Structure 1
């Protein structure tokens, strides 16, 4: 691994990226906090309706997994920002271009790595 460099981001860029990360974090949390389909009750249900509910619940769980992973990436980026290590490649230690961070603020490395 190469020697770790210093981030070349300005304070204004860091603030803009922090806002972007926080906005995305709020969005992800709102998705994750959506209530799951209501669980079946003791009422007799048609087999078809029960299968439909199971399918809907499975679809909701499939949405949660990527959102949970994204939340972890966002939190990691915010932690790196707080530690003063944000904007540096985890592979090489080189600065990640601002344009890449605007497009993907939780990026761990440059696009060409």
Structure 2
């Protein structure tokens, strides 16, 4: 792995840090949102409605899992910012282009890696 320096300016790093922190807040809000509650046992429901609720609940679990995984990536990127290694590929050590980081601030490597 090369020992390259990040080509990011202080302004770029600050912009990307803000994007990462905004994304972290968004994810935390999604994860805090209450899930739909199941119907009370004494309520009569059609089979189709119950099946739809099961499908919706499954989707909510999938979304929560994806959001938790993304939160791990965002936290990792913020830790790299704090350590001074943000913007460098974890595979090669080469700088990750600023345009890539603007699109995916938690990117761990360049597009072609």
Question: Does the alignment reach a TM-score above 0.5?
Answer: yes
Where do 5+ consecutive residues of structure 1 fail to align? Answer: none
Measured in 1, the distance between the counterparts of 2:38 and 2:82 equals 41
Residue by residue over 1:37-71, the C-alpha shift from the partner in whole angstroms, topping out at 9 and shown as x without a partner, is: 11332324323333222221111111111111111
Matches within 5 A, 1:1-113: 2-46=1-45, 47-113=47-113
Normalised TM-score (structure 1): 0.90
Aligned CA RMSD, in angstroms, stands at: 1.3
Residue by residue over 1:74-97, the C-alpha shift from the partner in whole angstroms, topping out at 9 and shown as x without a partner, is: 000000001111000000001111
Residue by residue over 1:11-52, the C-alpha shift from the partner in whole angstroms, topping out at 9 and shown as x without a partner, is: 111000000111111111111111111133232432333322
Normalised TM-score (structure 2): 0.90
Task: Give 4+ residue runs of structure 1 displaced > 2 Å after superposition.
Answer: 39-42, 44-52
